[in-house]
Amino acid sequence: MSYPQGPQQRPPTGNGGNRPGNGNNPFNKQGGNDNGQMPANRPFWQMPVLWLVVLGLLFAVALQLFSMGGPKTIDTKDGFDLLSKGEVTYAEITEDKQVVTLKLKDDFTKTNQSTGKTENMGKNVQFYYVFAQGGQVVQAIDKANPSAGFNSIVPQTSIWSSLLVSMLPLLIIMGVFWFFMSRMQGGSGGLFGMGGKKNSGKLLDGKTPKTKFADVAGEAAAVQEVEEIKDFLKDPSKYKALGARIPRGVLLYGPPGTGKTLLARAIAGEAAVPFYSMAGSDFVEMFVGLGASRVRDLFEEAKKTAPAIIFIDEIDAVGRRRGSGMGGGHDEREQTLNQLLVEMDGFDNDTNLIIIAATNRPDVLDPALLRPGRFDRQVGVEAPDLEGREAILKVHAKGKPFVPNVDLHMVAVRTPGFTGADLANVLNEAALLTARSDAQLIDNRAIDEAIDRVQAGPRRQSKGMALKELRNTAYHEGGHALVAAALHNTDPVTKVTILPRGRALGYTAVMPTEDRYSQSRNELLDQMAYAMGGRAAEEIVFHDPTTGASNDIEKATKIARKMVVEFGFSARLGSIKWADDDDQTTVMDGLQPRKYSDETARIIDDEVLDLVEKAHTEAWNIINENRLVLDELVRQLLVKETLNEKELKEVFKDLRMAPERTVWLSNSNRPDSDIPPVEIPESLKRDAGLQPGE
């Protein structure tokens, strides 16, 4: 059963309007939009698919007419009967098709045995025979002695017609292959998109965006970092007078949905320069050389309209470290990367061309991309803080009607770790829920439900959960909430519900009250303890745990392994990073040797197990000490189904807190210090909004 644990455990969703389509893909040779749709100004009668359908219909009609005009086919037995009865006036054998055509004195009628209906076949009929019946057919015709005679046709096929028939299937296959490959390559005129006349109409269509820095809310630090690029593009003289060189490339990195694309468009909009936007995957093609050619075309056209901005989204698709693929240094992606490096290195200070790239994986990029002279500056576009979230909410709240008591500041407080895309999704979901209920104003209930939907998924309306399973879920979620409330380094428990939502039967919300950028060892241990709280409650109450704790065990195990192999929180292994996060993923990763011995691997497993077991025991002891509080919490959950922060405080008023943990030393040989830490100055407390004495 899943439960939100703050920004580290909740994946962002959507794009919140931060990636608006601009239709400016410079390699969309068809002249359509970025979604691959056909252009609206192309006449429908020029579409190849339409002509294929028309030709198919004409062929079917012609085949039908041809079959209606010829002789009708009868059974072989009926054909021999007609010959034996002397009903035939003329007979003709076509030997290559093994068919006999008969002309009769009178119409031949046949009765269908299954339906009993009589069918008139006419005076011209035909029947087929197998090769072994050839002599019998000739004898039957000789005995019938047709009055109009008998003819045997042995058609002579020319060598050219035989060659055409044999080559026709191959020609058809090649034609279909050429048609589809030319369509896949954007219809540039040549086979596979090469050799034809280059249609560079879209390359010249680098439009100037209307986005401004005012539209980029919640990223003041990132905007400040890139503002001088706007000044350089608008007036480079003051920089050149001081001998300064503007960064040739800017790398925007950060989690998905934080507004990297929006920021790049805002730079171009503020500078009022053409903006060429494309994705890194647009360069990579099936055939070697096309990606590098596209890079050259893009830079040539951008230089013609300089000053300009080239924006490459998801550059990690083409900019991964060289030598990590199966093709060595000769695959298409590395050829494209080499060309990109050459083009970026060929600038001079008077080019006035800026390259902006965006990625959420800066750690996998090739070092040659990140050196000075290419991507000189790296700007982090992180999830917004409290003030930034409130600013983003105000931007997305424009045009939406709210009731007077909706406080966007409180919404920002309740959404730590949310990106701009998440916040846009929250307000959009609230508007959709309000419209679904036929209301005119968005209220706090709609916003509460929208936050829950973004965090844990939509509520499931199924009423089929058995009462026994509902009680089990209540104890499970109650165990999470109880352990979290009894620990000293956790965030407040803001909500507990047993209503199914997303893939979970219920969830417990433990939300931080302030933005955090690091976590202490005790905070991680607390997270593991209340993750195991649900499993411990099931074992204590029912002595028969369920599979509902699988997600909790997974989270606790991940935290424990990171503490051991990444954070250096193991006294046995010391402050060494055993994990290799150089994620150069290849299909051969499973064959790469570990960077540590088998003995170290065994110790790592022992330490992870020890941490999880200690967290499990800690949760077990807390629940045993507060069993009456847990039972009261479950009783209220079974009645109300959902408890908010105020109701939980009332339930936990008699809660016995867990004992403080002993001081942890990474090495017992190092002497401890009992000197208290430095007090925070009052000026910093005032800046943080704290009252005197807090």
pLDDT value of position 529: 95
pTM, entire model: 0.64
pLDDT value of position 583: 42
Question: Any binding-site annotation on 260?
Answer: yes
Do residues 599 and 485 both lie within one domain?
A: yes
Catalytic center residues: 477
Question: Residue 400 maps to which CATH number?
Answer: 1.10.8.60
Q: Which residues of the chain fall below pLDDT 70?
A: 1-51, 54, 59-70, 152-163, 165-166, 180-206, 284-290, 323-332, 346-351, 461-465, 580-593, 685, 687-694
Do residues 487 and 525 both lie within one domain?
A: yes
Do residues 543 and 644 both lie within one domain?
A: yes
Question: Any binding-site annotation on 409?
Answer: no
Q: Is the peptide bond before 4 cis (omega within 30 degrees of 0)?
A: no
Question: Any binding-site annotation on 500?
Answer: no
If we measure between CA atoms, which residue out of 120, 87, 85, 113 comes closest to residue 102?
87
Question: Any binding-site annotation on 261?
Answer: yes
Question: Any binding-site annotation on 258?
Answer: yes
Question: Residue 306 maps to which CATH number?
Answer: 3.40.50.300
Taking CA atoms, 279 is separated from 14, 164, 249, 265, 318, in Å, by 18, 46, 16, 14, 9
Question: Any binding-site annotation on 545?
Answer: no
**518-570 residue pLDDT tens:** 889 999 999 999 999 999 999 999 999 998 889 999 999 999 999 999 999 99
Q: Is residue 17 part of a domain?
A: no
**601-641 residue pLDDT tens:** 999 999 999 999 999 999 999 999 999 999 999 999 999 98
Last residue of a domain, one of 330, 356, 380: 380
Last residue of a domain, one of 329, 349, 380: 380
The number of residues making up the chain comes to 694
pLDDT value of position 554: 94
If we measure between CA atoms, which residue out of 170, 178, 175 comes closest to residue 55?
175
Q: Is residue 518 part of a domain?
A: yes
Do residues 451 and 314 both lie within one domain?
A: no
pLDDT value of position 8: 41
User: How many folded domains does the chain comprise?
Assistant: 5
Q: Is residue 52 part of a domain?
A: no
Question: Any binding-site annotation on 254?
Answer: yes
pLDDT value of position 603: 94
pLDDT value of position 454: 86
Q: Residue 80 has which token pair? A: 């021999």
Do residues 374 and 404 both lie within one domain?
A: no
Cα dihedral 617, 567, 389, 426, rounded to 10, equals: -50
Residue 354's SS3 state is strand
Do residues 235 and 304 both lie within one domain?
A: yes
Question: Residue 147 maps to which CATH number?
Answer: 3.30.720.210
Name the residue range of residue 632's domain: 467-581+593-663
Do residues 407 and 502 both lie within one domain?
A: no
